[in-house]
Structure 1
Amino acid sequence: MAAELEIPLTGGRITEGVVRVGDTVRRPVGPHSPFVHRLLRHLEDAGCDAAPRLLGTDDRGREILSFQHGETRTSFQARDWSPAQLTAAARLLRRLHDATAGTPLADGEETVCHNDFSPLNVTFVDGLPAAAFDFDQAAPGPRVRDLAYAAWLWLLGADIAAPLTRQLALLRTFLDAYGLPHEHRHAFGARIASRVEAERAFHEAAGRAAPPGSWLDREIVWLREHAAAVDGELGAGA
């Protein structure tokens, strides 16, 4: 019997060797996989369709996931999403958080964070974010950790064509759509910068350096410089 055709998938940002086989996705397993598998099974049991289904492992030891039909993105730097797209993204993240809040998976934390809720890790249907994938970095944590990182990945940064006032207005749209209480938005600008700095440290520890003057370094400098403006915008509507 001929081997099934394997089509490399280009979504996601870190994991290599991900392929599509028919209506399934095959991904390498790693130290994170047992937790991710528990998470995906829980989301399925909870009736949450915002993530792929775990279908087992193949004869090469790769995990088998359901294929999420739709479109994926291969770049996020432009961050030129519409209010409707940002609203859908925020509501998608809220569904994932609500499905794990208060469960044993959260391990005493507020919820399980995706920890890389990027446009690159989302399937779009009819132009709107519909489901998430690539949960390799998922771990227990506070909701604002995911929201702060998502704010950078989706709508804030130095290399965005939209003026700062537009970026800040869209940030408010994003947090309102998620339903983040105003009392949890305090010092949110600094939270964003700190979260991206933590991500830089993670990548540097893995041998992916972001030296001074690099794109990521410039983004962090910009986030630090504009943290007060972020807090001013969010505080104005409190």
Structure 2
Amino acid sequence: MARKRTADHDTLRYLEEEALRDPDFASQSRIAREMMKAGYAHFVAHNGELTKAHIIPLSATQEHLALLVDLSSIMGQPSAVSLSAQEWSIPSDLDGWKPTREQLASLASTAEELAREIDVAVGSETFCAAISEIGAENRFQHGLAALNDLVEVFAVAASLRKPTNAKGGGAGGRRRNPHWVREFVVAAQTFWVKCMSGGTKPTFLKGQASEGANAFTKWIVDLYRRLAPPGTTNLAMFRTELERLPAMRRRPNS
């Protein structure tokens, strides 16, 4: 137990020192503290396993732990959707337009059917008496008006189509990766250049979808697998971003 408290203290001190040296790091430091309160042991466990499996130098273990916290925060960034005439863009980590359009159309149909049933029901004196008895005439009228509005809202939203000249999407009609994926791989690559040796260009084994061919690729894929929330891992998406990542040149004195 004493060893764990020491590790926590050392990492908090490291984050505080980095926040003083680098103003841009300060916000990440605050986020890190909040995440530590919720489950810091989770990061400590991952850090121990990763540093051992990928032979991270002892001198870089605290910085590696800070990187894990940083990357987890980056992965938590919300993706932005645009369905405008100027830009039609739905990141690949979100629901696609086809199932969303089908959902909207289904809701419009369901709401319209309910509105029709209510129109029939109001022809019944007994139905109206029941609404009157509970003193809900005004609420009923407002609710019915809102329901009819929803029918129109769902139907119009379902009719949206991607304009032929709209920007957005990826090559070959593929949806673009969310912005956090690029930020994730660049942050990880920067750590590798600073603290590790060997190539920084992601390469994969021939015929293998996600198995790295060099130390850097094996490590960064392992990072993503461990940090992705359960049920959200998308190695195909992650690989497409890695394949776009150019090698990062080291400074002469690094």
Pairwise same-fold verdict (TM > 0.5): no
Q: Which has the higher strand share?
A: 1
Calculate the TM-score normalised by the size of structure 2. 0.31
Q: Which has the higher helix share?
A: 2
The structure whose RCO (Cα within 8 Å, separation 6+) is larger is 2
Calculate the TM-score normalised by the size of structure 1. 0.32
| Largest Rg, 1 or 2 | 2
